[in-house]
Amino acid sequence: MIPTVVSPLSPILPRRHFGVRAILSLATGLGAALASIALAMEFGFHEPIVRLTILHLVQLAAVGLYAVRQVHQLATSHERLQQIRRSAVDWLLVVVGVVLLSVAYESTHPPLLAAAAFYIVAAQLLAAIRYGVGTAGNRLVHSQRRLKPGRLMVLSFGGGILLGALLLALPRATTPDYWAAHSDKVGQHLLGALFTSTSATCVTGLVVHDTGGDYTRFGQAVILALIQLGGLGIMVFGSIFGLLMRRQLSLRESLALQDSATPLVVGELRRVVLFMAVVTVVCESLGAAVLYGMWSTEIATTSDRLFYSVFHSVSAFCNAGFALDSASLQPWRGMWQVYTGIMPLIVIGGLGFPVLYELYGWGRHRLTLAAARWGKPRDMRHPTPRYPFSLHTKLVGVATTALIIVPAVLLFLFESPGARSAPVNTVDLQSGYVVHDLVLTDLRVVDRAAAALFQSVTCRTAGFNTVPLDTDSVSPATHFLMSLLMFVGGAPASTAGGVKITAVAVLLLGVYSTLRGRRHVESCGRLIPDLLVRRAGVLIMVMGTVVSAVTLALLLTERDASLQEVWFEAVSACATVGLSTGLTSELTIPGRVIIISAMFAGRLGPLSLLIALAGNPSARRYQYPQEQVIIG
């Protein structure tokens, strides 16, 4: 008996069409899987391991099945005009596919065959995206699976990490020299690919391989895509594609998105998701334009400079900390683009989309009032009303400003002249000469202040560094302060990690209210619920427990590392920051597995991960008598 399958990409049809539709859906899915394998064999290896003719036949067969499926959907649809409108892009690809199927093998012109191969790539990617979005938007499928938003988020990120690891494990993702040296170490190579994929998807920045030296442009492009997917969230990306295809968000998808991206009401999610896409494109494009001139002396070709600009712009906005130089941004620490391009992108990405959405509303409010008052006499102008910022935005703004200025001053003081007994010799990567002016202590006052400000910004979220951060280059006090900043992290619903600045702010307000003898926690004329204060305390406690457990595990596996190095590495991984004292590349295999787990848990949030893995909540219908306990 043929199973009943409802395609997520078309309206529900009468029962007599289920059998043919099920067969076509299964055949198209199988063809897509085989075509993906064929693409990997053709483009993932330095030399194809199967004849190109066979690979091209598999790819074109998948396109043919896809075209037949679209024709069948149109033939069995009761509203064919609307079906064509909804699937305009599909039909364009079908027409192109039919043309390619008819002439690709009648011509031996290489550009035509190359165009056919690239079309296959685009068609399969679009099909995969549309299948994923349609499945996510199908209420029946969701209700049958009964996936919680937290569990859906875990599965989404886990699937993205595994897919990225498979792509990075392909020989063509790494340089020929690297592949020649590691081709006989399959296990270590796969673990390194999984480590890099996890670090990119979780926007951490810790690397066991040199991103710019060990990976080819294909591998770097995969890392860039993983950073973008992880920064905004895989579910958010699915919702963005769904909205662009004029699909409505289902209630369950809205709740999942609300749980992971924004505290706004469900009705506003459609505008917020589109706002996310626009802000991301605008910020990253402006950042790339600013950074383009920074590489003029080191990089010759225009395409390489453009790729460097886009890569670092996306990495900065997503707070990933990945750089195409093994020394991060140290060779460009004196360039103004670092402070006017990289640093603003880090701050904007760490504010969170709810805050940016309110700032956008404030800007529109001011422009509307200015337009209304334009041309009126002064005596007829009404006072400008204040824009009603939420308590969340106020706390994020005050906490972000304080956590940028105060740590910058402390870092400047901790690394003042005389803090180190002798300058540290460092090899300049550009000239090859041994210098000692890269250490924060030995910089000039202006350069030291700029470096302290940059590290204050990047420590909480991004993971870039303009000065060495090993134990011989900065003091233990600086490492401890950086660890605190990494632990705090950025704002909720942002690309940053950590316990989030609002959790720390709410807990400090609770401590202040307790010391003042107040029964409730208040801020800015608003009452903060007691449940929210308890959640903030639990989140910080769980995060502290995870960091302590990771530190203890690394002390058992990395016996040659000091406690200072291990603690810094553990906090950086759990908070998804990416700063390191140099221990990452020297990790043992168990140590790499521990850091992979720490990055994954830190990106999803330890509390969210525990809730997702836990069972259904059970409310008790009774209450025990109260009894006092001595606590101090």
**Tell me: the pLDDT tens digits for 569-578?**
999 999 999 8
> Residues 131, 8: contact at Cβ < 8 Å?
yes
For residue 432, is pLDDT > 70? no
Residue 275 inside a domain? The answer is no
In 385-533, the DSSP E strands lie at 426-427, 434-435, 521-523, 526-528
pLDDT tens readout for residues 174-226: 988 888 877 777 888 899 999 999 999 998 989 998 998 899 999 999 999 99
CB atoms within 10 A of CB 48: 14
What pLDDT, on a 0 to 100 scale, did the predictor assign at position 252?
54
- pLDDT band at residue 140, thresholds of 50, 70 and 90? very low
Tell me the CA distances in angstroms from 491 to 352, 353, 399, 412, one per residue in order: 6, 9, 9, 25
Rounded CA-CA distance 574/341 in Å is 26
Segment 285-312 mean pLDDT = 88
By DSSP bridging, strand 521-523 and strand 434-435 are unpaired
Q: What is the pLDDT of residue 274?
A: 79
Extract the tokens encoding 348. Answer: 């904007």
Round to whole Å and give the CA distance between 154 and 104: 42
In a domain, 369, yes or no: no
Q: Closest Cα partner for 565 from 494, 473, 630, 495?
A: 473
Render pLDDT for 470-482 as a digit per residue (tens, 0 to 9): 888 888 899 999 9
* Residue 174 and residue 216 in contact, taking contact as beta carbons nearer than 8 Å: yes
* Residue 228 domain flag: no
> Domain range spanning residue 100?
1-146
pLDDT of residue 568: 94
DSSP 174-229: B-HHHHHHHTT-HHHHHHHHHHHHHHHHTT----SS-HHHHB-HHHHHHHHHHHHH
Q: Give the model's pLDDT for residue 436.
A: 40
Residue 315 lies in a domain: no
The rounded percent of the chain whose pLDDT value lies above 70 is: 72
Residue 338's alpha-carbon distances to 301, 432, 451, in angstroms, are 21, 22, 10
- Encoded amino acid at 247, one letter: R
The whole-number pLDDT of residue 549 equals: 95
Please report whether residue 40 resides in a domain: yes
Cα separation, 333 vs 286, whole angstroms: 20
Give how many domains the chain has, as a whole number: 1
Compute the residue count for the chain: 632
User: Per residue in 440-470, pLDDT tens?
Assistant: 777 888 888 999 999 999 988 888 988 888 8
- For the cut 80, the answer to whether the pLDDT of residue 153 exceeds it is no
Quick one: pLDDT at residue 355?
87
Q: Phi and psi at residue 139, in whole multiples of 5°?
A: -65, -35
In this prediction, residues 71-91 reach a mean pLDDT of: 71
The residue with greater pLDDT, 500 or 263, is 500
Contact 603, 202 (CB under 8 A): yes
| CA dist., res. 144 & res. 489, Å (int) | 37
Residue 140 lies in a domain: yes
Q: Is the dihedral of CA 20, 22, 24, 30 positive or negative?
A: negative
Residue (of 228, 251, 266, 261) closest to 136 by Cα position: 251
Average pLDDT, the chain: 77
For residue 330, give the DSSP letter.
G
- What mean pLDDT comes out for the span 41-51? 77
In a domain, 125, yes or no: yes
Per-residue pLDDT tens over the stretch 253-296 = 555 555 555 555 555 666 777 788 888 999 999 999 999 988 87
pLDDT, position 224: 94
Residue 353's nearest CA partner among 311, 392, 403 is: 392
On the question of pLDDT at 107 being above 80, the answer is no
The pLDDT value recorded for residue 6 is: 40
Q: CA angle 551-552-555, nearest 5°?
A: 85
- Residue 240 is assigned to a structural domain of this protein: no
Bridge partner residues of 174 (DSSP): 215
Question: Who's near 249: CB < 8 A, 6+ residues apart?
Answer: 137, 239, 242, 243, 257, 269, 270, 273
Task: Report the alpha-carbon distance of residue 219 to residue 436 in Å, rounded.
Answer: 34
Lowest mean pLDDT of 70-79, 507-516, 589-598, name the range: 70-79
**Structural tokens at position 304:** 């390489």
Structure tokens at 580: 């390191």
Point out the least confidently predicted range of 55-64, 158-167, 362-371: 55-64
Please give the pLDDT value at position 315: 93
Q: How far apart are CA 460 and CA 498, in angstroms?
A: 8
- Going by C-alpha positions, the residue among 403, 400, 221 that lies closest to residue 322 is 221
Pairing of β 526-528 and β 521-523: antiparallel
46 vs 412, residue with greater confidence: 412
pLDDT at residue 433, rounded to an integer:
37
Residue 168 in this model has a pLDDT that exceeds 80: yes
Cα 490 from Cα 350, distance rounded (Å)? 5
Q: Can you read off the two tokens belonging to residue 614?
A: 């836990």
